[in-house]
Amino acid sequence: MMLEEFQQSLRKFTKERDWSQFHTPENLAKSISIEAGELLETFQWHSTPDVQRVSEELADVMTYCLLLADAIGVDAVEVMAAKLEATRKKYPIEKARGRSEKYDRL
């Protein structure tokens, strides 16, 4: 399925339930943190991913992200592409290769 097609289903799903009244940017930002916590819980005491559980929690985080992109009126892919360009400049290949330090410590 294409992202755009999924986004259409999601918007219809939300509209049918009259849930956009709850989807303020702030509530969605809270929801993303909450769901990120549930995703992290699948790794609370170990490092091994349970692919089914991880997928479901990851889906929740991403879905709220798409709703937030809609709520603030931006295109999800465009903002990622713009940020990747910025990150590319902060982490030039020759300096960043094989290193996990923050750009200001490279």
Binding to its own copies (CB under 8 A) within 45-74 occurs at: 45-47, 49, 51, 54-56, 58-63, 65-66, 68-69, 71-74
- CB nearer its own copies, residue 45 or residue 104: 45
Asked if 96 interacts with its own copies (CB under 8 A), we say yes
Q: What angle do CA 80, 33, 77 make, to 5 degrees?
A: 15
Asked if 18 interacts with its own copies (CB under 8 A), we say yes
- Rounded Cα gap, residues 37 and 41, in angstroms: 6
- Rounded Cα gap, residues 16 and 96, in angstroms: 47
The site map against its own copies for 20-49 (x = CB under 8 A) is -xx-xxxx-xxxxxxxxxxxxxxxxxxx-x
Asked if 11 interacts with its own copies (CB under 8 A), we say no
Least separation in angstroms between residue 89's CB and its own copies is 12
- Rounded Cα gap, residues 66 and 28, in angstroms: 10
- Rounded Cα gap, residues 92 and 97, in angstroms: 8
Least separation in angstroms between residue 11's CB and its own copies is 11
- Number of residues interacting with its own copies: please give it, by CB under 8 A: 73
- Rounded Cα gap, residues 62 and 106, in angstroms: 30
